[in-house]
Chains A and B, each alone.
Chain A
Amino acid sequence: MMLDVLILDPWQAWVVALGSGLATVALRIMPVLAFRNIGSGWFRDVLDRTGFGIMGGIVAQTALRSGRAMFAGTANPELLQVGMLWAVMAVLLTFLLSVRFKWKLLATLSGLAFFALGGMIF
C-alpha cells in the first residue's frame, strides 16, 4: 500500500515499532525476574484466580466489541446494543454447549453460527 503523505519520520516509525515491541517484551520479562519463587501458596492461588478473571474479561470485552462491529455501519444506535447482547448470548450458548456435551470445536462453530445468524436477522 503506497502512502500519499508521510505521517511519521522514519526514525519515529522505528521508535513506535521497535519501542512498542521491546517495551512489551520487558513487561513479560519483569515477572520472570521478580517472582522467581511463586511456589504453591496463596500467591499462586491469587495468580490462578486472576488468570481466570482476565480470561473472563477478555471474553466479555471481545464479545461486546464483535457485537458492536456487526452493526458498525448502521446509523441506528439501538442495533449496536442488540449486536452486543446477541454476541453475549452466542458466548453463553457456546459455554453451555461446551459444559453439557464437552464439545470444543462443535460448540465454537455453533456459537459462531448463532452469532452470524444475528447479523442476517437484524
Chain B
Amino acid sequence: MSSESPLPSASAVLWDATKSSYLIVFTFVMMFAGVGQLSARAGLDVLQTGVMTALTLAAPAQAAAMSIVLSAGGAAGGAWMTALTAVFVINLRFIVMVASVMARLPRMSIPRTIGTLGLLSASSFAVAFPRLVDHPPRRPALFVLFLCLLCCVSAVVGAVIGHSMSGTVSPLLGAVLGAVIPVYFATLLANQWKERALMLNAVAGAILVPLAAPVLGSTSLLVVPLVFAALSVALRRRTNDA
C-alpha cells in the first residue's frame, strides 16, 4: 500500500505558481509598459507589440531592438535586420536556461517539453530553477508551465498598456520598480545559502558578468557563468580523482 498523497490538482499548482511569482508578475507589467512605449515610438502597432512580447519575453532584448530601430531612424538603413540580430544574440542565454530547467524536470515527450519551456523567460527561470533544486513541487512541469504563462500574460498586458500610454513614470519610481527584480532574486538565491558550490557560482556570476560585459556584451551572461561552471566542475572531478 502506497503512503504517497495524491498529486495536487491543477488549480493547486496554479495557486502555488501564483504565490511564487506575484512579485515578478507585478514587476513585469511595469517593466513591459516601458517596452510597449518604446515599441510604439519605433513604429510597431499594438498587435505587433503584443506578438513580439508574447514570444520574446525579454525586456532587455526588446528594448535593445526598439532602440536600434529608433536610433537608425528609418527603414532605409536596414535597422530591422540589426534589431533582429540583437534580439537573437541577447537571447542566446535562453539555451542554457532551458537546458538547466529541463534537467530538473521529469523526462517528457518533446512536444510536452517544448510546450512547458517554450515561453521560459529570465524571470520565470529565476523563480522556477531554485525551487526545482531546493524543494521541487509535486507536479514540476505543470508548475513551470503556469509560471511561464503568468509571466507571459503579465508581460503582454504591460506592453499593451505601455503602447497606449503617453506619460512616463518618475525616474525614482522607475528605478524602484526596476530594483524589484534583483532584490527579489536575491531572496531566491538566499534559499540556496548552504549549497556552497551553487553559491560560489552565483557570486562569481554576480562579480564577473558585469566585469566582462564591456568586452563580451550581452553574451557575457551566457559565456561567463558557463565557463566558470565548467571549470569548477572539472576542478572538483580532478580533486575527487586525486
Q: Which residues of B contact A98 (CB under 8 A)?
A: 186-187, 190-191
- Distance of A80 from chain B, by nearest CB (Å): 11
Q: A112 contacts which chain B residues (CB < 8 A)?
A: 176, 179-180, 183
Q: How far is the CA of A45 from the CA of B237 in the complex (A)?
A: 11
Complex formed: what's the CA distance from A8 to B49 in Å? 14
B149 at the A/B interface (Cβ < 8 Å)?
no
Q: Which residue of B lies closest to A26 (CB)?
A: B88
- CB < 8 Å: which of B54, B199, B225 contacts A21? B54
Whether A91 and B182, one on each chain, are in contact in the complex, defined by CB atoms closer than 8 angstroms, is yes
Total interface residues in chain A, CB < 8 Å: 81
* Chain A residues numbered 23-71 whose CB sits less than 8 Å from any CB in chain B: 23-25, 27-33, 35-36, 38, 42-67, 69-71
Q: By the criterion CB–CB under 8 Å, are A54 and B97 in contact?
A: yes
A103 — which chain B residues lie within 8 A by C-beta? Answer: 187
Let me know if A108 and B183 touch, CB within 8 A: yes
Judging by beta carbons under 8 Å apart, are B229 and A53 in contact? Answer: yes
- State the main secondary structure of chain B at its contact with A: helix
Q: A60-B182, A95-B187 are in contact. Are A51 and B125 (CB under 8 A)?
A: yes
B226 nearest in chain A by CB position: A50
Does A6 touch B at the CB level, under 8 Å?
Answer: yes
Cα–Cα, bound, A8→B193 (Å): 49
B122 on the A face (CB < 8 A):
yes
User: Judging by beta carbons under 8 Å apart, are B98 and A1 in contact?
Assistant: no
Complex A-B: 29 CB contacts under 8 Å: A8-B44, A19-B84, A20-B87, A20-B88, A21-B54, A24-B56, A24-B61, A27-B91, A32-B102, A44-B103, A46-B230, A48-B198, A52-B192, A53-B225, A53-B226, A53-B229, A55-B188, A56-B202, A56-B209, A58-B181, A59-B185, A60-B207, A63-B182, A64-B210, A94-B187, A99-B190, A107-B186, A115-B183, A119-B172
Closest 5 pairs (CB-CB, A-B): A21-B55, A53-B225, A56-B205, A57-B209, A53-B205
Contact residues of B with A, CB < 8 Å? Answer: 23, 37, 40-45, 48-49, 51-52, 54-58, 61-62, 65, 69-70, 73-75, 79-80, 83-84, 87-88, 91-103, 110, 113-114, 117-120, 122, 125-126, 129-130, 133, 163-166, 171-172, 174-176, 178-193, 197-199, 201-210, 213, 220-222, 224-226, 228-230, 232-233, 237
